[in-house]
Structure formats: structure tokens, C-alpha cells
Structure 1
Amino acid sequence: MLTFDLQALSSDSSARAGCMHTRHGRIETPIFMPVGTLGTVKALSPEDLSACGAQIILGNTYHLYLRPGSEVLSRFGGLHGFMHWERPLLTDSGGFQVFSLAGLSKITDAGYRFQSHIDGSAHLFTPESVVAMQDVIGSDILMCLDQCIPYPADRKLAEEALERTGLWALRCKESWQRDTGCRNSLFGIVQGGMFADLRKRSAEALVSMDFPGYAIGGLSVGEPTELMYEMGALTLPLLPQGKPRYVMGVGTPENLVELVSMGADMFDCVMPSRNARNGKLFTRFGDINIANSRYRMDEKPLDESCSCYTCTHYSRAYLRHLYKSRELLAYRLNTLHNIHYYLDLMRKMRAAILENRFRAFRATFLEDRSRGLG
């Protein structure tokens, strides 16, 4: 089961550095988890991820349940063996995908009934079944089933979702303790929409259940950035200091720095890989749209301060040529760079926290990012 050592607290913010220990290795925080929805981070091999410094990746219960399915994963001893990934793995519960992807769906206290987006077949997700599926996947960190709501959502819906999420969390924990032997670790998820008192109520209820770690769900769902920060600043201090704090589905480099300053430890987001496939690349001095004609003859790397494979071997002009030609190599090289950028940003934040200079790091980061490439 996961253990968490808090190693440093910033004296000029709420930023923290720690270390999680799992069956498949240690994870130094703050950490970003590349999203490998179907057992792959698109365009990259597990070896590419290791070379970028990925310590943990995220898989998706909904997608892996539908395809390849529990029988295939069981045959290979779980996702680690199936995809040749030897480091830690976190899986979400699949609730968000039922909410956002599935066909006809119905939610009751029993769980989610839904139709597969692949073939229309009928399925039921319960708190117990998603814990069992994540155990088959072999996740080091499992997520409770929670009820996702849109933004904006009225108070009545937010309160109903909060109550159901709490009931499901209790059932998930009971199933985890009874059926899995606690070989892995289960995180509870705070909900409550954009209502401060509901967020507080949700956090207090989950903390009383004493999970190994806690996540904040329902952010980065279309709300204004300042509202996301407001909810993060409110909720993070309500979670135990001695356990990991995970903000789900977030976000831009600026989002990560701001939420780390508030005390967050873990993040995931499809943004670096999805944006890479769309030609948007992150650099120290802002973002690049590699399709732009200004890069047609540009001999410089994407980011002269970056040590990734892409930046140490290829020019902006070549990357533009690949992307405009729709060559498959473009997706690999772009994704390598963006994933490396995110992971390197986390390493730099961790070093700044350990050296007690996070405020200065944050100021320089924001100044550089707003400067642009010139």
C-alpha cells in the first residue's frame, strides 16, 4: 500500500515536496502524470516515457473495461505486463467518461447504467465493479467512483452529486478493503461543484473515511480560471497534510504552477499530448503553433533551453515540414517535447520547493511564459 513522506514545505507559499512509495516504485512530488487512456500515451512507447522521466502514468477504467476488457488484462497479469510499463500506474474510475462519452446513460444510487460508445452494448458501473476492474488492471492507485456534473450546474444538482459521491466512496472503500487485500491504494474524490460550502462538506466527509490519498474532481470543466483557483485554494487546505493531494484533469503549465503554490501534489491532463498532435508546443517563452509560416526556414530548436530528444536533434523548420506534410513522425517528436516540457516543469518546481525559493521560481516562470518568443 502507498506511503507518503512529506519532505519540504515552502516558507513563502503552500507548495510542498514529497515522495510516494508504491509497489512499482517511488514517485517524487509534485508530479504530472501523462495520460495513457487505452494503455498508451498516444505516439509514445513506454521506453519514450521513461526517457522523458515519467514516474507514473494514468490509464482509464472505462476505456480499458470496454477494450481490451478484463479477460485480456487478466491473462497478461494486468496493464503493466500488457503494455510493458514497469513503473507506477493510476487509473480513474471511468465515471467522467460515462458522463461525457457514453450513449444513453442513467445514474441512480446503484451506479451508472450506460451504452458503450463503441457498439451500443449495455453496461453497469457500480462502486464495487469499478474497484474490481481497477484491481484487474493492476493499478497502484485506484479512484473511487464519483458523480460528475457539468459547468455551470445549479446547487441542487451539485448537492445531489456530492451526496451520491460520498455514498459511493464508502462502498468503494468497503469493496477495496474486502476484495482486493489492499494491494494498492484508493483515493477519494472531492466534489461539490463551484459552491464553497459544498466543497467543504464533501472534503470533510471523505477525510473522515481515511483514504490513503485524496483528489479534487470537477475542476477544469469549462469554468473561468479564477474560479478554478478559488475552488482549489479553498479545498486543498481541507485535505490531510500527510497524504497526497491530486487535482484531476488540470491543466496548462500556468495552472500547474498556481495549484502547486496552493499545496497540490499530483496532476494529469491530455493537454500536452493532444496539443502536440494539433501542432501546439510548449516552451519556456510561451507556446508555438508549429504550422505558422514564420518557422519555414527557422534553424533553431523549439526551445533552446530544452534538453529533450526533439530539441537536441531537430529544427523548427523540420518539425513544421513534418507537421504540414502530416508525417507520423511529427506526432511522436511533438509529443516527446510536450511531455518532456511538463515533466521538466515539475522537476524544476520540486527543486525550487526543496531549496525554499518557490516564490522566486514562480515569478520568473510567469514572466518568461508571458514574454513570448519574439
Structure 2
Amino acid sequence: MSTQTPARPKPARLSPADVIRTGGSGLRSRPMRVFLSALGIAIGIAAMIGVVGISTSSTEQLNRKLAALGTNLLTAAPGQSFSGNAAHLPDEAVDMVKAIDAVTSVSAIGKTDAKVYRNDHIPQAETGGIAVYAARTDLPKTVGVELAVGRWLNAATARYPAVVLGSTAAERLGVYEAGPDVQVWLGDRWFTVVGVLAANELAPELDSAALIGWPAAEKELDFDGYATTIYTRADEESVADVQEVLGATINPQNPNEVDVSRPSDALAAKQATDDALSGLLLGLGAVALLVGGVGVANTMVISVLERRAEIGLRRSLGATRGQIRTQFLCESLLLSALGGLGGVALGIAVTAGYASYQGWPTVVPPWAMAGGVGATLVIGGLAGFYPAVRAARLPPTEALAAT
């Protein structure tokens, strides 16, 4: 009669739900330590989400501004001649630009030597940095400026002592309304304020300017009639082509004496500078996330040391090394996931608060949120791997002897 060796019993397999439940029970037994470790992870993720969200919200705000203001505005100004002296634009420059097929509108301003003051008792040296320009009546159509108060110059007021103030100029002069009774001292006489402009990002030089009609400037201020800035709107698809020929069109004999620029490029350059700063802040967020990962690793190592008796008991009851390893690795991942989800929520809240304060739309890219949670799981897996392996290698007798 043959005797068969009884088959070695196979350990029961833990279902995913059992693994999560077992890992969660380990976290619930140490709530304060878990909270502090998860907070470290959350701070790093919140920093990264906040930086990405604020940068994206700022970019979205810029895109909306450019969509409203238009990216098809070009400006031309006199540069310097070969002799090093200041050049000037030809008298017929505006008419020549109008002849370009892709150009939709043209206007110009010319800087004068006059100064403007709140009244005639202000010392001449206290100009407040306000420049006085002669302006064409079609300037708002081309540049896209809007009136905050009053109205723009027309064919009648452009011939008389009437002035429109930029937003910054009006603030410096203490003028917040327009009308027949509102006057400023400009040149050597009183000018009536007929309007105040709203701020304009594409033409910031107009914000700190006092604008009077071209005929009035020639009559009252001895203006020489030369334009110092020509504003040109072109078809969206032809802006680059117009930009290339604008200098030669304005001054065919000396195109190098004309400086042509695209204001929207300046705004985009500013955004690029902001993006560089955002990259630095992202690096700091990554450092904070790494510190949080070290905190998770520390928590799991201490957990293994404190729970040696539990590990020994589970091993003596049939738990395999793989199950012990899976349990502690699951705890580490759950701990990191808690920090990651909390960090994403905190980052979104920070972005929404700052964007609301700035008047921006709140935009948090989905990839940033998914990446934040994914990064925490990677950090949690790396941080929990060694403690999990160490727990699995504890001999049951040695673990039980620690009680």
C-alpha cells in the first residue's frame, strides 16, 4: 500500500479589494502620521498644479486679449539716419501705406514739444511724463482704442483747442470726466478735455499721452506735421508680407530709417518671459514633491518597524512574502494617492483664486491633473518599494519575538 505525500496547501490569493482594504486599515491606524506624510506630497503637487494652472490661465487671458485687440496691427516709427541723427517719416507716408492692397486702415500720431498740466500754476518741470501728440481722427478705428469717458476728436474739434487724455495721463492730471467745463493747461493756453481713453495694451504709449487734432497742433503748437508713429492694420493672412514691405513703402529712399514692429509680438515676448519663470517654479514644485516622497518612505519604514509583530502573525497564519510585500506597497500607493488628490484639489483652488483675483479665466489642463496624480503614484511606488521588501523578508519567528 503506497502512501502519498499530501499536497502542500496553496496560500489563498488576495483579491484587489482585499489588498486595498488591508492597505487602508494600516493607514487608518496612524491617522496623524498619514496626514503629515500626505501633506508633504500634496504641497508639491499643489505647487506644480498651481504654476501650470496660473501660467495656462495667463496665456488664455493673453490669447483672448489678442483676439479682441487683433494681432494684425503694425507700427512704424522713424529710426536713425546714417549720420546718427534722428530721421523723420515723409509727409506722404500715410497715403503711401494706404496704397498697399492688404492694408485695411492706417492712422498716425505726431509728437509735439508741448507739455500739459492740470492748471497754469504747476511748475514747468513737473510734466508727469505726459507727452502731447497730434492725432488723426481715424486713430480709434485703426488702433482699436476705446473711450472710457466722453468722445473722440472729430472734424470740428480737431481744429480747436480740444484734447483727449490717455488713461494714465488722466489719472496723473486728476481728470476723471470730460466736458466743456473740464480743461487742462496745454502749451500756453487752456484746452478742453473732450474724452478720456481706456487703457490699450497694443499701444501703451497712448495711455500716457494727451492727444489733440492735427490741425490744432499745427495752429496752436507750431507742430511740424511729421508723423512719429504710423499705425497700420492689415489682413490677418497678409500681416507678415505687409511687415516686410512697410519700411520700404513709407520711405523708399531710406527704408532702413524706418523701425517696423508688431505690438502683439511684444505681448507674446512678455508671456515667454513669464513662461521661463513658470519653469523655475515648476522645478521648485518638483523638489517639494521629492521631499514629500522622502516623507512617505520614512513613514513606511517606521511602519514596518512598528508592525513587526503583525507581520510575524500574518506570516505564521499563512501569508506569503508576496502578500506582505503587496500589502505595504499598497499602503504606500494609497498614501501617495491621498496626497496627490489633495494636491490637485489644492492646486485647482489656488489657480481659481488667483485667476479670479486677476480677472482671468480659470484654466487647469487635464494633463496637469493626470500628471500630478501619476507622479505621486510613481513617487509612492518608489518610496514604498524598499519598506515593502524589508517587511516581506522578516522571518516569522523573528517578527513574533519582537512583541
TM-score (normalised: structure 2) = 0.25
Higher RCO (CA-CA < 8 Å; seq separation 6+): 2
Bigger fraction of residues in strand: 1
Bigger fraction of residues in helix: 2
TM-score (normalised: structure 1) = 0.26
